[in-house]
Amino acid sequence: MDLTYDTATAARAGKVPAVTLGFWIIKILATTLGETGGDAVTMSMDLGYLVGTAIFAIIFAVAVAAQMAAKRFHPLLYWTVIVATTTVGTTFADFVDRSLGIGYLGGSSLLAALLVVSLAAWYRTMGTVSIASIDNKVAETFYWVTILFSQTLGTALGDWMADSTGLGYGGGALVFAAGIAIVAAAYLWTRVSHTLLFWIAFVLTRPLGATVGDFLDKPIDHGGLALSRYTASIALAVAIAALVLILPQRAGDHA
């Protein structure tokens, strides 16, 4: 499952951005926005997890349909879909964990199983789960389904780490940041499959963003800063849009 790349693949896979440092920075901000934005709808607006999930699922469906219909890479469209996966992932994970009553560990286990099934089906169908292989609609469908499951799992993991282990939001964020640092070190100094490391890092950035988002908007007596969810969400959305426009956004060499 090694990540491979050539010029022909780049031409076909032009809708998937190059994985650079800028990619990871925007990804972490997007996952943080998913947490604050999801909580703003379900908690601040008091719509509940099921209604919030339905709203964001519709937004995700429209965004991903536009992304898959596009003929080339559109940075703002791509990142809109990513943000949509984080918001629907936030509300759906909260629904599974809390409304269904199976708890953070139960929700994390269920979502981890769904992620593994998605990756296994992708690999069985396409022979690889490398993002450099996304050159047709089938692979692109697996890509977005896998991302959706990974974003949802990340929310559940973040809540479990912060609430069930006693580490709090700050401590949970440090744990996931350390995990990402270990993955980065493995990428630089080991021969571990870059495809495997990519998906591990992709999953870990979600609970990192989730714990940071909770740290920003949760009450002070719960270990947060009690910032307005609306203000935090708008600030994060502006920062993401600015970075997408400022940082080089290109499809290309994923290796």
Q: How many domains does the chain have?
A: 1
**Token pair of 166, please?**
């006693």
CA 9, 11, 14 angle in degrees (round to 5)? Answer: 100
Q: Tell whether 251 is covered by a domain.
A: no
Question: What pLDDT, on a 0 to 100 scale, did the predictor assign at position 14?
Answer: 64
Q: Tell whether 156 is covered by a domain.
A: yes
- Is the pLDDT at 3 greater than 60, yes or no? no
Q: Tell whether 121 is covered by a domain.
A: yes
Q: What is the DSSP letter of 162?
A: I
Q: Tell whether 235 is covered by a domain.
A: yes
Q: What is the DSSP letter of 131?
A: G
Q: Tell whether 255 is covered by a domain.
A: no
User: What DSSP letter does each residue of 63-119 carry, written as one string?
Assistant: HHHHHHH-SS--HHHHHHHHHHHHHHHHHHHHIIIIIS--HHHHHHHHHHHHHHHHH
**Token pair of 91, please?**
């509300």
Q: How confident is the model at residue 62 (pLDDT cuts 50, 70, 90)?
A: very high
CA atoms of 179 and 37, how far apart (whole Å): 25
Global pTM reads 0.88
How far, in whole angstroms, is CA 140 from its chain's centroid? 16
**Residues 136-187: tens digit of each pLDDT:** 889 899 999 999 999 988 888 888 888 778 888 888 899 999 999 999 999 9
The crossing angle, in degrees rounded to 10, of helices 75-94 and 49-69 is 150
Question: What pLDDT, on a 0 to 100 scale, did the predictor assign at position 10?
Answer: 42
Q: Tell whether 66 is covered by a domain.
A: yes
